[in-house]
Every structure is written in structure tokens, then in C-alpha cells.
């Protein structure tokens, strides 16, 4: 399996425009596992966490190989978020943020960055380092605005946790 750091070297940090991380990293893992299971005459089924109010994301041609338990149970995104906020996971992550991919996701908002800065400062420094590298060496922003603007916005009281 290709490591995330190897993909970073190949593609540069993921951006809002070039989100290679999903296809080249996350879904590649699913493809590899599916191939392995089929070689063993197994019928793999992926359990996808889409909510009942996200049915437009479901691809009908995959219904034989994928299950959507939250959809099947009629659980909506506000309901699952309310439940998640009662769980003490990731330092109470869902008390601060509604949803998020991974901790270097270019789609994360200011609250998610503030959360990472507060609870995972070393990881936050790494994300900032990636964003600066992206701007200085590759000529594009990792997030929707330059990293200097992001750092200034994080200092505003609105984003202090």
C-alpha cells in the first residue's frame, strides 16, 4: 500500500481543487481490499456512513456491493450529529465541529483548524507547514484562502475554543 507521505511527495498537498486524497488514498485501500476478498471467493460489502438526508450521494449501480445503514434506519445528519456530541471521542470533536474528513482535509473550515490547533498542536503545525509549502513551492493554496489569512482569522475570538 502506498503511504500518504509518498502520495504527498508525488502530488503535493491535497487542495480544494485537487483532492487526490480520496481517490488515490482512501478509495485505493477499498479497491485493494475488495480485490483480495474476491480472490478468496468472498463477496465484499462496504458499509457507507451516508445519512438518510444524503441519499443523492448513493450510486444505484453499487447497491449490490454497498450498504447504507444510517439511510436504512432513517437516521438524518442532525440526528447522528446530536448523538456524536454525546460521545467523548477525539476530545469532544463534535461539540465544536459538525463534520470533517481527515486532519489535513483542504475542505475543513476555521472551526476545525481551531480545534486541531487546540487539541493537536503538533499536527496543526504540520498542516500549516503543508499549506505554506503548497503556496510557496507549488503556487496554489491548500485551503480556500492564503495561509496568512487563515492564521490571522484563527486569532480572532470567534475561532478560539
> In angstroms, rounded to a whole number, what is the distance separating the alpha carbons of residues 126 and 20?
19
> Looking at residue 119, what is its pLDDT?
92
Write out the three cell numbers for 141: 493554496
DSSP string of 81-102, one letter each residue: HHHHTTS--TTTHHHH-S--S-
- Rounded to the nearest 5°, which phi and psi values hold at 47? -100, 115
Map grid coordinates 475561532 to a residue. Answer: 159
Contact 131, 150 (CB under 8 A): yes
Q: What is the DSSP string of 111-145?
A: HHHHHHHHH-HHHHHHHHHHHHHIIIIISS-SSSS
Q: Are 107 and 16 in contact (CB under 8 A)?
A: yes
Q: Is the dihedral of CA 6, 9, 15, 18 positive or negative?
A: negative
**What is the per-residue pLDDT for 157?**
64
pLDDT tens-digit profile of 98-129? 877 788 888 888 889 999 999 999 999 999 99
The CA distance from 69 to 101, in Å, is 19
Q: For position 1, what pLDDT does the model report?
A: 79
**Most confidently modeled of 4-18, 27-41, 58-72, 146-160?**
27-41
43-98 pLDDT tens trace:
999 999 999 999 999 988 776 889 999 999 999 999 999 999 998 888 888 888 88
Amino acid at each position: 500500500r502506498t503511504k500518504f507521505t509518498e502520495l504527498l511527495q508525488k502530488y503535493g498537498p491535497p487542495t480544494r481543487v485537487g483532492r487526490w486524497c480520496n481517490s488515490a488514498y482512501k478509495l485505493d485501500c477499498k479497491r485493494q481490499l475488495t480485490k483480495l476478498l474476491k480472490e478468496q471467493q468472498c463477496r465484499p460489502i462496504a458499509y457507507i456512513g451516508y445519512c438518510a438526508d444524503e441519499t443523492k450521494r448513493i450510486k444505484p449501480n453499487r447497491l449490490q456491493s454497498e450498504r447504507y445503514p444510517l439511510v436504512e434506519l432513517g437516521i438524518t445528519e442532525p440526528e447522528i450529529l446530536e448523538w456524536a456530541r454525546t460521545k467523548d471521542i477525539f476530545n469532544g470533536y463534535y461539540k465544536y465541529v459538525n463534520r470533517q474528513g481527515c486532519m489535513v482535509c483542504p475542505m475543513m473550515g476555521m472551526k476545525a483548524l481551531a480545534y486541531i490547533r487546540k487539541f493537536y498542536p503538533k499536527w496543526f503545525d504540520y498542516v500549516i507547514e503543508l499549506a505554506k509549502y503548497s503556496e510557496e513551492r507549488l503556487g496554489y493554496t491548500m485551503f480556500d484562502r492564503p495561509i496568512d489569512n487563515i492564521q490571522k482569522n484563527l486569532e480572532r475570538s470567534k475561532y478560539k475554543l
